[in-house]
Each structure stands twice: as structure tokens, then as C-alpha cells.
Chains A and B, each alone.
Chain A
Amino acid sequence: MSTINVEDSTDWLSTTVPGLSRLETSLRCQVCRDFLTSPMITSCAHTFCSLCIRKSLSAEGKCPACREPESVSKLRRNWAVEESVAAWRAVREKVLAVARQEGKSEKGKKRDATEAEMEAELPRRTQRRKVVAIDSDDEEYRPEEERNDGLVPCPICSKRMKEADVFGHLDKCQAERQQRPPPKTAFNPPPSSQSTPTKRPQNLAHANFGLMKSEVHVRNQLKNAGIPAWGSRDVMMRRHVEWVNMFNANNDAEHPKPRGQLLRELDEWDKFQGGWAARVKKPKETDGQEYIRQHKEHYEELKAAALASMRKAVAKPVEEPKEGEPGQQQQNAPNQQQQNEPKPEASGPTGALPESTPAAGPVARADGHSPSRSSWKAPEW
């Protein structure tokens, strides 16, 4: 079987700084596992890609992490995370090379030394950063008296204009601001966002197809939105939902794509639907044994891999709570309470439950039930 190399947070586990795996997990979306794109924070304070959370809320109006009811209107941009993702992605490759190289050259000594150095350097860096931030703030408030152009700056956008025009301008300026908060956090505003703020269309609303008795209404809805209006009622409804989600997520992007590109992406989505619909056409129900026989080779590989991972886990029996888990466990807390499940000792001797799996949910049922002799007794339901 060919393996495709996909960048993910486990890349760090084999380096000299495995802890970066956890950092990276926190910068990735729990739904798509990719780096957070236009991150949005929910009212329950979980962050996802704009498109991921929008699609997910369309499917089920709950937060994917904690299952609290949520609606798109409560979503807010998470600028700090967006900044962090951008900054991390910019240096990732370099850091990875260094972290790998280091392991190769001098194991042991060197590694401890660098880690200590990094720690020692940390406070200094933070300080330096603060200073920079203050400096740039000062710049913003620099008195303007040296400019003798007879104009005054707008108190909101600092655009210079005749004093008499300010009031008229203010209304417009305020309205614009309210629609779209300034796209950057206080720290490190990139030059691009400073210049002309991108004009964004209003977000689209999801249609209430439940109220549309006839297919013609549905079709018109799509036509009005300017998207392809062919296919069955079901296909059209799903296409519209997809379009609204794509459109609004694009609105959340720092650099929105042009409409034409969005339409092409919608077309891709359509093809995917058709393609998969055809493929997923329930594969012939083969009897279990027959299926296993047909996939014998594949299953042999998988069996070997599963046994190997088992041995590896036995070899290092003490598993500290690891990367990516603490946060997620916290998120699970409500689940566990809802389920009201009995909780034996935290993690049984097999403690082998997934190390890196951001197993947010399945823990719901699995939690506290790691198979162990002591917990193996009559059911309590």
C-alpha cells in the first residue's frame, strides 16, 4: 500500500521537542484536522474553522466539541488564534528541520541544553514583544500637530477630512465598523489589513425550505442566489445550504476569494456528491467471511499493525495524559455528567487508550471503562 505523507501534529513526536505536537494540535481544527482557517469561537468557547463549524451547525445545531446547543449567529472571529496559526505556519518547516536535525547530531546533552536555553529565553522574548506593542500603540496616538493641512482626522478611522465633513462621515464610518470589526488584533497588524479594508457583502441567510411546499420555490431560491438550480429537491436544498456556508465562511476570511472561485468550488462539491453518491451505492452485501476472504491481504497488514501498536503500548505501560488530551478531557466533562456513568479508576492497566487521538468524544462511552479486571463486573445499568 502506498502511503501518502500528510503533515500533522504527530510529526513532532519523533523530534527533540515532542511537546510541539500539543501546540500544533491546539492550532488545528478538531473537525477537519487541518490548521484553523478563519477560526471562529463558539459561545461555549471552542474554536473551529469557519466553514467546518458552519457545516457542522447546519447538520446538527450543536458544538462538535461539547455538544452544547449553538447557532451561527453566536459565532465570533478568533483573531488571536488566526494570528498564532499564521505565525506558526510561517516557521513550521524550519522549526521541524531544526528539531529533527538536533536529534540526529548530538543526542542527549545538546538537547537538554537547548531546551534550557529556550526556557531561559522565553521571558525575555515576551518582554521584548510587549515593548514593541507599546511602541506601535504610541505611534497610533502621535499628535498630529505637525500636519498643517487644515484637515482633521476622523476619530474612528483616522482618515483626514475637512472639519465640516466629519459628522457626515462619522455615521457612515461607524456603520461600516459595526458591520465588520477591524480585522487585526492589537499586536503585529500586518500592513495589508491597514490599508483598504476589504468590502464584504452581507452574510447570506439559510432558507427555510420546510415552508416551501413546491419544488419551484426551492428552485427559485437557488436562482435568486445565483447558483445552479438543477437536480432533485433534496440536492437543491443541500446545495443551497452548502453555498450559504461557503459564502459566509468566505466572508470571514482575511482574504476572501472572488465569487467566481466560490462557484467553482460549489461545482466541485456537486461533482463530489454525484461521484460519491454513485460509489457509495451500498456495496453488495457480502457475507462477513466472504468479505474477509476478499480483503485477506489488507486485513493481514492491519492485523500486523494493530498487534505492533499493542506491543508498543505494553512496552511503555505508564502513559501520562498526553498531547492534546487535557483540554479535550475538560470538554468532555459535561458529557460524562450527562451520561451519569459510573467511573472506576481513571484509566485501567491497559492505559493504552489512544495517546494522540484527540478522542474528544468516544471517551463519552469509553471513559473510565478501560478494561481492567476490577471494572469487569455485572453491568450497572
Chain B
Amino acid sequence: MQSDPPAGVSASPVADNVMVWNAVIIGPADTPFEDGTFHLSMNFEEAYPNKPPSVKFKSQMFHPNVYGTGELCLDILQNRWSPTYDVAAILTSIQSLLNDPNTSSPANVEASNLYKENRKEYVKRVRETVEKSWED
């Protein structure tokens, strides 16, 4: 991951515990999330990679599939998990989720409704979190 990182994501373990990683995802270009610097944490269990890590946004997010607590609703971190996924794969997956929300099972109903019904307002709210992420 460190020797050949995927674009716009980065992660490494915290100083005293390899089971906890921090990560940063840059919002992809040409999306409302563009240039956001979103902070995440990843907690691994000893059963990894046979169990997915629990991944959380620490930055404030406004996204149909991210709960207010920062927890994500993403299939590959739940029922479609595979032990072949590594940190880089998880992060790039989340990165692409940003602009490709699944509104059929929203974690944030308000974001989901705005996304479907009032895109302009949705984008405005997202941009607010992007700007906030720069202060993190």
C-alpha cells in the first residue's frame, strides 16, 4: 500500500496498535466531494481478513450511505466481504461510493432524499462538509 498507493487514498496503523489504522480519502475530482480530505479510522479484529474491519468516517459526512456516527453502510464491509480485500481495496471502494450512493437502503435519510429530489441542495450540503474537512 505504501510503496504503490492508489490515487487519493492513504492509510497506516496508529503508533501503538497495528489493529487500528487511520486513513485519509481525497474526494474524487468532478464530484461534489472534490478536494475533500476525509478522515477515517479502521479497526481490525484478530479474525481479519476473514472478518471485515469496522470502518468509520471521523470527518463529518453528508452522504446517503454514511450514518451520523460516521459508520458506513457498504456491502463489501458487510455481507459481501471477502478476505481478499486489503486496506487499499477498501479505501478505493469507499472513495467510489462517495459519488455513487445507494439510495435503496439509506443510512442518512435526509441525504438520500435530497440526493433524489433536490440535487442542488444536496450538493450544497456536501460542499459544506468538504470545506469543513479542510479544517480537520
- Taking Cβ atoms with an 8 Å cutoff, the residues of A that contact B are 1, 3, 8, 10-11, 13, 30-33, 52, 55-56, 58-60, 62, 64-65, 67, 272-273, 276-277, 279-280, 283, 288-289, 291-292, 295, 298-299, 301-303, 305-307, 309-310, 312-314, 349-350, 352-366, 369-373, 375-376, 378-379, 381
Contact = CB atoms under 8 A, between A and B. Distances in A.
Contacts of A1: 12, 15
Interface in B78-136: 80, 82-86, 88-90, 92-93, 95-104, 115-116, 119, 136
Nearest to A362: B93
Given A1-B12, A273-B46, A379-B102, A352 B31 contact: no
B97 A10 contact: no
Nearest to B50: A59
A223 to B, nearest CB: 24
9 contacts: A31-B83, A289-B136, A298-B15, A306-B8, A354-B88, A354-B92, A358-B89, A359-B88, A365-B100
Point out which of B10, B31, B57 has the most chain A C-beta atoms below 10 A from its C-beta. B10
Given A306-B26, A354-B6, A364 B80 contact: yes
A376 B9 contact: no
Contacts of A352: 6-8
Given A306-B10, A307-B8, A372-B30, 12 more contacts: A1-B15, A59-B83, A64-B82, A288-B59, A298-B15, A306-B5, A310-B7, A353-B7, A359-B88, A360-B85, A361-B76, A362-B76
Given A366-B96, A369-B100, A33 B86 contact: yes
Given A65-B82, A369-B96, A299 B6 contact: no
Contacts of B97: 365-366
Shortest Cβ-Cβ A-B pairs, 7 listed? A362-B93, A313-B7, A352-B7, A354-B6, A306-B10, A366-B96, A59-B50
A273 B48 CA distance: 12
Contacts of A60: 50
A361 B91 CA distance: 12
Nearest to B79: A60
Interface string B34-50: 00010101010111011
A198 B7 CA distance: 49
A100 to B, nearest CB: 14
A302 B29 contact: no
A302 B11 contact: yes
Contacts of A312: 7
Contact of B45 (A52, A280, A302): A280
Contacts of A303: 10, 24, 37
Point out which of A64, A67, A305, A306 has the most chain B C-beta atoms below 10 A from its C-beta. A306
A327 to B, nearest CB: 12
A301 to B, nearest CB: 8
Nearest to B57: A288
A55 B74 contact: no
Point out which of A62, A272, A303 has the most chain B C-beta atoms below 10 A from its C-beta. A303
A255 B8 CA distance: 44
A371 B25 CA distance: 14
Contacts of A350: 7, 28-30
Given A67-B82, A288-B70, A354-B6, A379 B103 contact: yes
B59 to A, nearest CB: 7
A235 B1 CA distance: 33
A361 B80 contact: yes
A366 B92 contact: yes
Given A313-B8, A369-B96, A370-B96, A349 B89 contact: no
A91 to B, nearest CB: 21
Given A288-B57, A359-B89, A279 B19 contact: yes
A305 B84 contact: no
A31 B8 contact: no
B96 A298 contact: no
Contact of A357 (B11, B86, B116): B86
Contacts of A306: 5, 8-10, 24-26, 37
